[in-house]
Amino acid sequence: MEFQNFLKFEEVKKEELSFVFRQYYDFKEQYKDYILLFRIGEFYETYFNDAIIFSDVLGAALTKRKFNTQGYAPMAGIPHKSLNSAIQKLLNNNYKIAVVNQTDEKDENGRQIRKIARIYTKGTVFENQFLNAKENNYLASIYNLGNELEFCYAEISTGDVYITKGTTGEIQNELARINPSELLILNNGSINPEIYSIYKYELLDEKFLAPSNLAESKAFSLVYNYSNRILDKFKIEFGEIKFYDVKNLMSIDFYTRKNLELTKNILNNSESGSLIWAVDKCKTPMGKRKLLSMITSPVFNKKEIEKRQNAIQTLIDNKNECKKLAELISITGDILRLTSKISNGTIKEEDFIILKDCLLNINQVNGILKKLKIGLLEKFEYNSDNLADFAEILDKTFDTNENGTFVKNGASPELDLLLNKKEEIINEIKNYETELKEKTNINSLKILEKKGSWLIELPASATNPIGADFRLVKKTKTIQKFTTDKLIELEEFLGSINYKIEQVKENLLLNLINFTKELNNDIRNYSKKIALLDCLISNAELIEEYNLTKPKITENKFEIKQGSHITLEKILNNYEKLDLNFDYSNLILLTGKNGSGKSTLLKQIATTVIMAQAGFFVPCKNFEFPLFDKLFAILNVTDDFINKKSTHQMQIKQVSYSINNMTNNSLILFDEIGKNTSHKDGISILFGIIKYLIQNKNAKTIISTHFLNIFELLKEYENKINFLQILNKNKREIIKGISNESKGIETLKEENMPNEIIKYSMEAYNL
């Protein structure tokens, strides 16, 4: 198709357009940065550049439409029934969408008026069909206070809001931790673009700083005003606004999170093989999101960690109660994400069934927890009696069958009366059908309903023996359809009854929604309690499966006995466990031949610390460690093609960031520094880094290397470095000393290199 001959939107003059396209023009002018889905008949259509994007993302056919007398515009569209799937795909590709619908309103000339039905952006959607049940969907904002940055993020689907302040580096790490779907920035140049360059961001003007009466926070004002503008009539009720201190969390930068594969594996960016994949045994969607939050947000707070440990220990010590709790919460739907639907009035009958199934168990759950006395779960405030009574109301009101959700008999006397009348009319229509069959002697005669219209259907070959009362409505080669005065009367009566039924149902639902709004805060708090309980039970079940142990927090001692990586525990049978001790030095230099597991050991140490500071039990026989304020893990480094940085440059960039931001309470894990440049450059860089760390830093540090001759340079520091090696002969173990083994050329044989290459390599090696 010759796109170059198409009109461009900028070339179009509004006065030359038809009434329909003048409406489109006005909407597109207002929403220039949005994909505008414009309803025409049974289709949603896109034009101009929107159509090209739409066709590319959805695979829809790209055609054209006559737009004005000057020419054609590119066009791509979908049937209206495909709207939600189209929105999902566009959101996944970080596009904003504006949906324009036809209305029943007419202008003074009787022409149909269209209006914006809904705006969709990735950070503001609250419907389950557009959200990943296992991941939080955050809308975040940053505001420059001058001496520091204010940071706010909110989960629109649950109403949760969090606010903190910090340095540029601290806020960068917070962004890496929560990975927002959308980031809001004030368009005044006050924030360094590097902070938000890797995130989908929106630049806002000063009007979005209008204060909210919920919190004195400029960053929150951006979130509050932007979400209200986007959602418009779908108002969100924000819950408790939590102010937190970033220093109470263990700081983990973007690259470290990626290198450690906490939520996605590096190979194909899927969850399989990640840490969260290995530790997740949660029963509920909200539990899974809470677990993800806990794993990605290890705390730097001994009391909080011990509260979580004690809660898990209580569940372990009371296995029967733990098992019963797991059974009770396993049927719990995502009631936390229902709270946004409650607040904006979009909750449906099927959602009430989810609420009912969860809340019917509330007394049983609370009864067991009261017996266990888990202090960590007692902080959630809600009225248990009100929620239990509400569940009984829902149980008496709604039920489900193969046709979906329906209102039970007895829930509404008025509705019951109308439904009985409806049944009587339908039976009368069936009797009328029987009567007509007898009169005509045509057994194939049927009275069928389609879209509220009832018609008599006969074979095309049948004559009309009844007379003028039978009026032909439609005829094809095979059938003919008729109506009669009696059938019309019954149809009108039934239509009137159906209208009244829908009105009664609507009023019933509206009253129920208004009543539910009064309980929304209780529902939110109870669902958060269930989410946390789900995480604790998940870890308790892991303990039984993998023989995990409770970590012990120390002042400075760091010792692992029979430790492993829990992801490998899940994948491999009889995975060999290792002991590691920092002993007399805070700096370990680790060696071992290729394939001995040096990189894996560094990941194992990091993930064990993360689990421990998340408050969970860990895959070791014994683990003693000091709390770490920051974690830096330089592993699996790749080049940055977009910013034209080589793998070596990226490695040095990450090492530099670590060294410049570490404290004496940090954990540093460096894997083969300098390996991506020349041997002379690499070993020199490694020596410089080690010497600097010995002289200037006191953080717990492990550095792995294949530069064996580095030890000649480090002789004067032998008493300040703990030299360890991984052996992998009869068994895999860590011992004192320096490995002089390599497996470089041996790997050529293992990976089926041509024999000539192996031969030439050996000749060069022996020179």
Q: Residue 530: which CATH number?
A: 1.10.1420.10
301 and 212 in a single domain? The answer is: no
534 and 584 in a single domain? The answer is: no
Read off the DSSP letter of residue 367: H
Q: Assess if residue 278 is contained within a domain.
A: no
76, 45 in Cβ contact below 8 A? yes
587 and 612 in a single domain? The answer is: yes
Q: Which of 118-132, 581-595, 701-715, 749-763 has the lowest mean pLDDT?
A: 749-763
566 and 433 in a single domain? The answer is: no
266, 567 in Cβ contact below 8 A? no
CA–CA distance, 542 with 158 (Å, rounded to integer): 28
Q: Mention every residue, 6+ apart, whose C-beta is less than 8 A from residue 23.
A: 100, 113, 114
> Residue 538 in 3-state DSSP?
helix
- Among 120, 153, 183, the domain-final residue is 120
Q: What is the mean pLDDT of residues 667-676?
A: 92
Does 442 score more than 60 pLDDT?
yes
CA–CA distance, 603 with 597 (Å, rounded to integer): 10
* C-alpha distances out from residue 719 to 702, 722, 724, Å: 16, 8, 13
In 3D space, the residue among 246, 344, 353, 250 whose CA is nearest the CA of residue 297 turns out to be 250
Mean pLDDT over the full length of the chain = 91
Q: Assess if residue 253 is contained within a domain.
A: no
Phi then psi dihedrals of residue 443, to 5 deg = -70, -20
Does 4 score more than 60 pLDDT?
no
For a pLDDT cut of 70, what percent of the chain falls above it? 98
Q: Residue 174 belongs to what domain range?
A: 132-248
591 and 706 in a single domain? The answer is: yes
Structural domains in the chain (count)? 5
Q: What is the CATH number of the domain that holds 695?
A: 3.40.50.300
Q: Assess if residue 726 is contained within a domain.
A: yes
The β-bridge partners of 737 are none
Q: Which residue has the higher pLDDT, 637 or 547?
A: 547
348, 407 in Cβ contact below 8 A? no
Q: Assess if residue 405 is contained within a domain.
A: no
- Among 98, 120, 142, the domain-final residue is 120
Q: Which of 275-284, 434-443, 742-751 has the lowest mean pLDDT?
A: 742-751
Q: Assess if residue 391 is contained within a domain.
A: no
* C-alpha distances out from residue 425 to 412, 417, 433, Å: 20, 13, 12
Read off the DSSP letter of residue 640: B
Q: Assess if residue 259 is contained within a domain.
A: no
Q: What is the CATH number of the domain that holds 23?
A: 3.40.1170.10
158, 237 in Cβ contact below 8 A? no
236 and 97 in a single domain? The answer is: no
> Residue 172 in 3-state DSSP?
helix
Q: Which residue has the higher pLDDT, 197 or 467?
A: 197
209, 226 in Cβ contact below 8 A? no
- The pairing of beta strand 722-728 with beta strand 700-704: unpaired
For the stretch 136-169, pLDDT in tens is 999 999 999 999 999 999 999 999 999 999 999 9
558 and 655 in a single domain? The answer is: yes
CA–CA distance, 321 with 327 (Å, rounded to integer): 10
Q: What is the mean pLDDT of residues 577-590?
A: 92
For the stretch 251-306, pLDDT in tens is 999 999 999 999 998 888 889 999 999 999 999 999 999 999 999 999 999 999 99
Q: What is the mean pLDDT of residues 616-637?
A: 95
Q: What is the CATH number of the domain that holds 220?
A: 3.30.420.110
Q: Assess if residue 186 is contained within a domain.
A: yes
Confidence at 670, pLDDT banded by 50, 70, 90? very high
358 and 421 in a single domain? The answer is: no
For the stretch 475-500, pLDDT in tens is 888 888 989 999 999 999 999 999 99
Q: Mention every residue, 6+ apart, whose C-beta is less than 8 A from residue 86.
A: 37, 44, 54, 58, 78
Whole-number pLDDT of residue 110: 86
Whole-number pLDDT of residue 614: 98
489 and 526 in a single domain? The answer is: no
Does 753 score more than 90 pLDDT?
no
649, 575 in Cβ contact below 8 A? no
Confidence at 465, pLDDT banded by 50, 70, 90? low
588, 582 in Cβ contact below 8 A? yes
363 and 436 in a single domain? The answer is: no
Whole-number pLDDT of residue 402: 81
**What is the layout of strands, in order, in the sheet containing 722-728?**
251-252, 630-634, 667-671, 700-704, 587-591, 722-728, 732-736
529 and 571 in a single domain? The answer is: no
Does 3 score more than 80 pLDDT?
no
Q: Take residue 286 and report the two structure tokens written for it.
A: 């909200």
Q: What is the mean pLDDT of residues 380-388?
A: 94
For a pLDDT cut of 90, what percent of the chain falls above it? 67
222 and 328 in a single domain? The answer is: no
Instruction: Report pTM.
Output: 0.90
Q: Assess if residue 265 is contained within a domain.
A: no
Confidence at 557, pLDDT banded by 50, 70, 90? very high
334, 133 in Cβ contact below 8 A? yes
- Among 64, 92, 120, the domain-final residue is 120
* C-alpha distances out from residue 179 to 182, 292, 337, 572, Å: 9, 12, 19, 31
Does 620 score more than 90 pLDDT?
yes
Q: What is the mean pLDDT of residues 406-417?
A: 91
Does 461 score more than 90 pLDDT?
no
Whole-number pLDDT of residue 508: 93
Over the range 14-41, which residues count as b (16 or more CB within 10 Å of their CB) and which as e? Answer: eeebeeebebbbebbeebeebbbbbbee
